[in-house]
Amino acid sequence: MTLQQQIEELFARSAVEYGEEYFAAFEEFKKALNAGEVRAAEPDPQSTTGWKVNAWVKRGILLGFRIGRAVEMPPADFQFRDKQTYPLKQIPPGQNVRVVPGGSSIRDGCYIGKNVTCMPPMYVNAGAYVDDGTMVDSHALVGSCAQIGKRCHLSAAAQIGGVLEPVGALPVIIEDDVLVGGNCGVYEGTVVGRETVLAAGTVLTGSTPVYDLVCETVYRREGDVPLMIPPGAVVVPGARAVTRGRGKEWNLSLYTPVIIKYRDEKTDQAVRLEDLLR
């Protein structure tokens, strides 16, 4: 029986007590998550979004919460209580990952690539995938199952939303070489294309349209197709006027992200400054 078949079979059971087969299968599953061998979502050129969801992986993560119980976690001088199936992640020295002291936590059951830098305080949740050379800056959150590409920078207070249920839902995808500015939020399965720059304070959700001034089009979530930001876009916070009713009378406007340009040499020079912080 494959690991996927084991997880699917155990998840489908309605047991109230959990034998050793549960924990043995879950530990094997978590080992695969930590190694990046299984992912909640993975690239798929045949898909409309370029990604496919591995629902069984989400079921495996949920299984860990189901079978886990709250216990005292080591070390003794840093007390916390959590599911015993999700202790703090052990990072091999060969990965050359920097986790600077000061309140950062990386939950076991996520993938952290080589040469990743984690500035305190930050948090990476179970099921997340953070690829090589990425920086997770202070107060940044990488939610459960979020997929972060190579050489990204999640700036201070950036929030990358997580999703476990429904298990078929696409998590947030941040592709390679993306700069997520300070206080940005990316939620609800949004796909941010490679080399995109999100200016500070930009918020992307499934219910907020994005106006592209360059291509003169509007991007939004359409049914099962998530909001997708084109590669190389430079997105800034903007506003659009309310055109009817009291909102118009009161001169109100609503928040909306706006694509004002696509990356050029000047943008690239500004982004390269981020490398000095790594």
> What residues are paired with 203 via a beta bridge?
185
Two structure tokens written together for 202: 């930009």
Distance CA(196)–CA(178), nearest Å, equals: 5
- Report pLDDT for 173: 98
Taking a C-beta distance cutoff of 8 angstroms, is the pair 177, 150 a contact?
yes
Residue 176 burial (CB count, 10 A): 18
- Report pLDDT for 76: 65
Domain boundaries of the chain, sorted by first residue: 90-277
Taking a C-beta distance cutoff of 8 angstroms, is the pair 234, 259 a contact?
yes
Distance CA(278)–CA(275), nearest Å, equals: 5
CA distances from 58 to 53, 77, 265 (A): 9, 33, 40
Residue 173 burial (CB count, 10 A): 26
What is the full per-residue pLDDT of the chain (278 aa) written as tens digits?
Answer: 999 999 999 999 998 899 999 999 999 999 999 999 999 999 999 999 999 999 999 999 999 999 999 887 776 677 778 899 999 899 988 999 988 878 899 999 999 999 999 999 999 999 999 999 999 999 999 999 999 999 999 999 999 999 999 999 999 999 999 999 999 999 999 999 999 999 999 999 999 999 999 999 999 999 989 999 999 999 999 999 999 999 999 999 999 999 999 998 777 766 665 555 45
Two structure tokens written together for 14: 């309605």
Question: Tokens 């340009």 correspond to what residue?
Answer: 261
- Report pLDDT for 266: 74
How would you classify residue 91: left for phi > 0, otherwise alpha for psi between -120 and 50, otherwise beta?
beta
Domain 90-277 fold = UDP N-Acetylglucosamine Acyltransferase; domain 1 (2.160.10)
Q: Would you say how long the chain is, in residues?
A: 278
